[in-house]
Structure 1
């Protein structure tokens, strides 16, 4: 193809325009600074997201109070019946505070030495609590007949998900550092047997013995679990035909 051909000239213009667009985008992103060595600090990102979640939760709580006040002022018979049904389901859904005999499990990272460092020659991943460790305990306690559960200071419901970023626990928009504490109301003896039978818990205990991670199980005579304070998201709905 000749360099003077129309197709070559059009292609050259297109390449120049694309290069200019990329350079403009890079400059806008970097604010005029060098972007080659920029890195993202995940802990800062998570903390910022957590602050935004806390602000949104406070705003949502205020709006919910306004809705409840309006809803209680003048209800049609249909709405009153629906609210009565919903109130009857609030306890099993985790929307009411509960208390009773419980089992409390605490998981923590291995201890650092006097210099603040982990022992030399050991993979750091072997010395911290991971997402699957917390999830194994949670699953075992549910399987052992837990009636209600709390991780750290938050009530666990069907939509709760355990996530870890490094050795930081992310639960329902909030972040926590170890030790991670799980409290479940129910038959403590039965839940302990379920923990003993859970393969994930058994694997974690091998790391406890080898690298001195923390794993404590304590019965609690009367634990108080708060109501779930987050949003209940509607995922599907249908209208019944009359």
Structure 2
């Protein structure tokens, strides 16, 4: 019995007992590593949940402020747009009044017919009559790329976009073909007008236009249409259609209506006061 009692009392070898005592003395015999890892993971999850909760609470608090500021900006844009429209209407009314007074003054001096002709040709008066409707649009697969020039890119990757110089050639071709008045998307063109580009947008007198570009020209409809299509600029437009997919259509119209130009004021040139010598 003494042997069995000794085995039960000393089941671990003395060496194992000493090793366990040293680990406990060094602080390594406490909590198991797996339990430590689980507790660390739980603490991390709790911290992450806390951060997400705080962030969501802050977003919820800030959302009404952002929505309010956005609505205030929208209301301000709407208000300024309405004010600009009202001012534009006032300008149109004043322009019509000035034109009427000019015609009245010229009628008294016997120059009414000549004044009307000058007013029409200068773009100061809205006009209507027979003419042509020319629609120019980007290619169906048009994309922005390269250096912005679909006809001069090094890798010949065509974008099929209508460019400002294309519209310049179209307008000049119509003038040369006999057009008496021209407009693009409702913008009347005069001797002071400029067709320029800003990125991919085309500007007419600094007003951006979007495709399709509808060009109206007053003149002898059939003759004007045939003359333009056979002109160098008309052939240029046809080449854009054939080679780059730019879409065009032209038709003679019995009546087209063009608005007056916003401004025909000459800001630089002055009439000469010198008299000729004989």
Q: Determine the structure 1 residue equivalent to 2:179.
A: 146
Q: 2:122 aligns with which of 67, 81, 93?
A: 93
Q: Aligned partners of 2:274, 2:197: CA distance in 1, in Å?
A: 45
Q: Hey, what does 1:10 align to over in structure 2? A: none
**What residue ranges of structure 2 are gaps of 5+ in the alignment?**
1-79, 146-154
Residue 56 of structure 1: how far off its partner (Å): 11
Deviation at 1:187, TM superposition (A): 1.1
Q: 2:259 aligns with which of 207, 210, 226?
A: 226
Q: Give the TM-score normalised by the residue count of structure 2.
A: 0.52
How many residue pairs get matched? 181
In structure 1, C-alpha distance between the alignment counterparts of 2:203 and 2:213, rounded to whole Å:
11
What's the secondary structure of 2:121's corresponding residue? Answer: coil
Distance 2:258 2:227 in 1: 21
Decide whether the 8 Å contact of 2:177 with 2:224 is kept in 1.
yes
Tell me by how many angstroms 1:165 deviates: 2.7
**Separation in 2, partners of 1:187, 1:202:** 20
When the two structures are superposed, what TM-score results if normalisation uses the length of structure 1?
0.59
Q: How does 1:7-156 map to 2 (within 5 A)?
A: 58=87, 62=91, 65=94, 87-88=115-116, 89-112=118-141, 123-125=157-159, 127-156=160-189
Higher relative contact order, structure no. (Cα contacts within 8 Å, ≥ 6 residues apart): 1
* Equivalent of residue 214 in structure 2, options 156, 178, 181: 181
Instruction: Give the 3-state SS of the residue equivalent to 1:237 in structure 2.
Output: coil
Structure 1: which 5+ residue stretches go unaligned? 1-50
- 1:203 Cα deviation after fit: 3.0
What is the CA RMSD across the aligned residues, in angstroms? Answer: 4.1
Structure label with greater radius of gyration = 2
The answer to whether the 8 A contact 1:168-1:178 is kept is no
2:240 counterpart SS class: helix
